[in-house]
Amino acid sequence: MNGNRKAVYIAGIGIISPLGCGLDATELALRKNNSVIAPLNVFTTKQSPALPVGQIREIPGISSLPRTHQLGIVAAKQAMEGYALAPDAVIIGTTTGGILTTEGLLASGEKNSEKYSRHGLTTVAEEIAQQVGCSGQALTVSTACSSGTVAISMALKMLQSGQAEWVLAGGTDSLCRLTYFGFHSLQLVDPEGSKPFDVNRKGMSVAEGAALLLLTTEKPQHPLGRILGSGLSCDAHHPAAPHPEGKGAASAMLKALNNSRLEPADIDYINLHGTGTPDNDLAESKAVRSVFHNSLPVSSIKGATGHGLAASGAIESAIAAICLQKDFLPANTGCREPDPDCKVSPVLQPENQPVAAVLSNSFGFGGNNACLVISKTDCSHVHVSGNRNAPLTILGKACMTGVGHTKESMAAFLGKETMAGILDLKTVSDKLPARKVRRLKRFSRIALALAAAAHEDSGREQAPHSVFMGSGWGALSETYDFLDKLQKSNEQFPSPIDFVGSVHNSAAGQIAIMHKATGANITSSGGDYSFEQALLAADSFLEMDADKESASAFVLAADEGHPQFSPLFDPSIEPATPLADGGGGFYLCKKAMPGKLSVRLCHYEEQTDTSPESLIAALGGKDTLQLNCGTILAGIPAAWSSVGEEYLKNFTKASGLDIPIIHYRKFTGEFASASAVAAVMAVYLLETGEVNPDKKILVLGFGKNVTAMEFACQ
């Protein structure tokens, strides 16, 4: 079922960065070509002298929200200016969430979990959605420094396929101790401030900021540009260093061109990732040279702003729009003597010259590469695309719970016994190569074990091409240990290993390395709906090559139970709640295979009241439900028990369904990725004939959001 792929316009832009607030201030600063990188003063450190960073002097408005949220809201309001509508979805790339606030609370010994309620990455997207009146999907991607670009890529797919008409997407990150000391511990910070592509460059400058793009398929009166295409790839090479030849980066650039139906010669300017680290700039220039001719104007703005991490790709997309609007090329601020080894020609002074199409590069930890092509509005192309929201075929499954791997977990489930608990780390890792996982802590080990088991269960030699990972809370052990060591050593000895492991996408990066998965690699973080968000991302990005063997992916979700952090962060875990963790997921492909089981995400919406009409409609209506549906697995997180139960009651009453309902959290225990285990439970029930395989199983989530996954035989 192919259809026309819709054109996606930029209707509004919000930007706040160390360069200033708003497009005009940003353009003015870029034309001045001065670096605004200066010694840190956003928070105090015991380190002297403070390292140079890119920081925002003043955030408009007064707010008690964490800094990342505040920056995102400023950008969101600017982007929405002049539009009375509410976007259909909000997609935010972030790596820091509420961590700066959390760091202060932890240092003061705060034990009240309510104070930590904005720690989670998902709260940034939720807060922004609320501020702009969006009651649709509020999604979060966390792929380190490519997050903002990946968020815009996801919005692009959603809009092109007709799933939404208006999407607000971009990235936001604030400075915090984790990133400030973390990059320093990796010796990646230039003590003089970053000067990308300069022969004497010594590293990056950590920065902060936010940019959001209001994107639409309805041509606005004054469009600011078009997003033509995107390309994602994974190096599958190293957790923190780029592939030395820039192999993954080149692949993402080519995919973005291909996706935009452009040739390399059609690009007028590349906004480079250009962090200023010796390795990044060298690898990126090799990648650029392998795709483009040498004289193409290129520049990195990170010598002016610093590296805004998850925000950087969105900030640079906004700057790409300025380039197109004003026929202007920003300079590679800070570069005095271009590195002859790089063999690219950075723009050394701001220039005015015609620009019709810009390529914007973003790369991150975990070997995550994302590129966007942004063009003037009059660029016209007609494309076709595959169908979205079609069922994904399940080739292999795996789960892990407190009682063991898939086999032990399912045996407990069938025996009506609890699976809840914390599996000892030795059993978690018993099938993983000890040497390769020695640096990894609990979260990454659970995820790696799930990927290996799902691959094994598929019986296929070939591992999947892409990785879509969900996690409510990410690498809690590494985050805790990093901050703990930092504090205990009087801010002197943070651990580089813990910093690299602390990023949300560390597990997905490790899976890519272990399984040589060089396709798209996205980590989503949506609280109790992280698995559903990962499924949604897979659905968006697997569409392009539906018939190819490469259109296959791991779709997994995992969370670790952490004695200190879990009760503080997860509202469903009280201090007295026994800790539970684990996860689950599949080896999936887009190609339909008769006889195989499939999964489809039918519904994902914010829960605004307890009327079930939209859920019933999304599941095909009352009659279809009664005819096809055999079992329900319902997930109601403890923090949402009363409203969740009421919703479920209303749903069964209005749909007239009289079928078994299994409350799966009673088996799995309370943790954010429990729905991933439930998904595997559903497949297990159908495969083993424990339920009628001709009927569908629904895995429903009721709480902050209302979600539905449908499992059926094809």
CB nearer to other proteins: give 186 or 625: 186
Cis peptide before 196 (omega within 30 of 0): no
Give the strand pairing for 166-173 and 209-216. antiparallel
CB nearer to other proteins: give 436 or 653: 436
Nearest approach, Cβ of 444 to other proteins (angstroms)? 13
Residue type, 221: Q
Nearest approach, Cβ of 649 to other proteins (angstroms)? 50
Nearest approach, Cβ of 187 to other proteins (angstroms)? 6
Token pair of 215, please? 């994107």
How far apart are the C-alpha atoms of 402 and 446, rounded to whole Å?
Answer: 11
Q: Residue 438 contacts by C-beta under 8 Å, 6 or more apart in sequence?
A: none
Per DSSP, helices labelled H in 516-640 are 530-541, 565-569, 613-618, 622-628
Interface ranges with other proteins (CB under 8 A): 185-187, 238-241, 434-436, 438-439, 489, 492-497, 500
CB nearer to other proteins: give 182 or 313: 182
Query: Which residue, 478, 481, 493, 476, is CA-closest to 181?
Result: 493
CB nearer to other proteins: give 390 or 425: 425
CB nearer to other proteins: give 66 or 366: 366
CB nearer to other proteins: give 368 or 393: 368
Nearest approach, Cβ of 426 to other proteins (angstroms)? 10
Q: b vs e for 79-90, b when ≥16 Cβ sit within 10 Å of the residue's Cβ?
A: bbeebeeebbbb
How far apart are the C-alpha atoms of 497 and 494, rounded to whole Å?
Answer: 9
Phi and psi for 596 in degrees, rounded to 5?
Answer: -85, 155
How far apart are the C-alpha atoms of 536 and 675, rounded to whole Å?
Answer: 14
CB nearer to other proteins: give 488 or 666: 488
Contact 256, 232 (CB under 8 A): no
CB nearer to other proteins: give 189 or 374: 189
Angular region, 187: left φ>0, alpha ψ -120 to 50, beta rest: left
CB nearer to other proteins: give 487 or 652: 487
Nearest approach, Cβ of 487 to other proteins (angstroms)? 15
Nearest approach, Cβ of 529 to other proteins (angstroms)? 32
Contact 587, 395 (CB under 8 A): yes
Nearest approach, Cβ of 450 to other proteins (angstroms)? 21
How far apart are the C-alpha atoms of 217 and 215, rounded to whole Å?
Answer: 7
CB nearer to other proteins: give 292 or 365: 365
Q: What is the DSSP letter of 64?
A: -
CB nearer to other proteins: give 57 or 438: 438
Angular region, 117: left φ>0, alpha ψ -120 to 50, beta rest: alpha
Query: Which residue, 288, 103, 236, is CA-closest to 177?
Result: 103
How far apart are the C-alpha atoms of 612 and 652, rounded to whole Å?
Answer: 9
Nearest approach, Cβ of 237 to other proteins (angstroms)? 11
Which stretches does DSSP call E strand in 536-624? Answer: 552-559, 582-589, 597-606
Contact 54, 311 (CB under 8 A): no
Contact 52, 39 (CB under 8 A): yes
Token pair of 166, please? 């208006």
Task: Give 519: exposed, middle or buried? Use CB within 10 Å, 0-12, 13-18, 19+.
Answer: buried
Token pair of 509, please? 């990066």
Nearest approach, Cβ of 492 to other proteins (angstroms)? 7
Nearest approach, Cβ of 497 to other proteins (angstroms)? 5
Nearest approach, Cβ of 513 to other proteins (angstroms)? 12
| Three-class DSSP category at 655 | helix
Nearest approach, Cβ of 289 to other proteins (angstroms)? 24
CB nearer to other proteins: give 189 or 257: 189
How far apart are the C-alpha atoms of 1 and 391, rounded to whole Å?
Answer: 13
Helices (H) and strands (E) in the chain, counts: 23, 27
Q: Give the end-to-end CA distance of the chain in Å, rounded to a whole number.
A: 17
Nearest approach, Cβ of 482 to other proteins (angstroms)? 12
How far apart are the C-alpha atoms of 143 and 504, rounded to whole Å?
Answer: 7
CB nearer to other proteins: give 177 or 465: 177
CB nearer to other proteins: give 381 or 431: 431
Nearest approach, Cβ of 500 to other proteins (angstroms)? 6
Nearest approach, Cβ of 491 to other proteins (angstroms)? 13
Q: What is the DSSP letter of 570?
A: -
* Residues forming a β-bridge with 52: 39
Q: What is the DSSP letter of 54?
A: B
| Three-class DSSP category at 397 | strand
CB nearer to other proteins: give 278 or 693: 278
